[in-house]
Amino acid sequence: MKKSVVLGMGVCVVLFFSACKSSESAYKKAYEKAKQQELAEPQVETPVEVTPVVVVKEAARTTSVAAGVRQEKVTVVSGVDGLKAYSVVAGSFGVKANALGLKEWLDGQGYSAMVAFNAEKAMYRVVVNSFDDRDSAAHARDAFKSKYSNRSDFQAAWLLYRVY
């Protein structure tokens, strides 16, 4: 009795593995047939169109408030309220704790940073410097970016025009 059970199990195992081989080879045959058809088709290269690049020189900077400057109504929530007309913003956060963390780090780097709140957008702006004129603020922003060229987050520093 044991021999017939073992023999029956052996036959089942052999049938099982032989069934898998036949379906496996069917997939392999289909793949090989598709590959042969692909190789038999003529390879046609599509011509690449070369488009000339036109270089446009940047127009001279205008001193208008709208040119490269965001206008926002902000109030200082941390730091000495020394916001003037134009400010260099190093970071913007929706969470006050994150803005305060950057302010503390910038204070440790020798800046007198401030955190200003824009109630309309519910955003905290971390201000590095503040100036009366746009040109001084733009120069300070560029100097800030070059000083921290290894920090990609500071490369997005921008100018804020304070609206009252």
Q: What is the CATH number of the domain that holds 92?
A: 3.30.70.1070
Comparison of pLDDT for 5 and 42, the residue scoring more: 5
Residue 49 has pLDDT above 90, yes or no: no
Per-residue pLDDT tens over the stretch 90-148: 999 999 999 999 999 999 999 999 999 999 999 999 999 999 999 999 999 999 999 99
pLDDT of residue 100: 95
**Rounded-to-integer distance, Cα 111 and Cα 10, Å:** 82
> Is residue 90 in a domain?
yes
Give pLDDT, residue 48.
55
Q: What is the pLDDT of residue 145?
A: 94
Q: Residue 35 falls within a domain, yes or no?
A: no
Question: Does a structural domain hold residue 64?
Answer: no
Residue 146 identity: S
Please report whether residue 112 resides in a domain: yes
- Is 45 within a domain? no
Tell me which residue has tokens 């127009």.
59
Host domain of residue 93: 69-162
Domain count, the chain: 1
Check residues 66 and 13 and name the one with the higher pLDDT: 13
Per-residue pLDDT of 62-97, as tens digits, reads: 333 445 799 999 999 998 878 999 999 999 999 999
Q: How far apart are the first and last CA of the chain?
A: 99
pTM metric for this prediction: 0.59
**Per the domain annotation, does 27 fall within a domain?**
no
136 is a domain residue: yes
Residue 158's pLDDT band, with cuts at 50, 70 and 90, is very high
Would 89 be classed as within a structural domain? yes
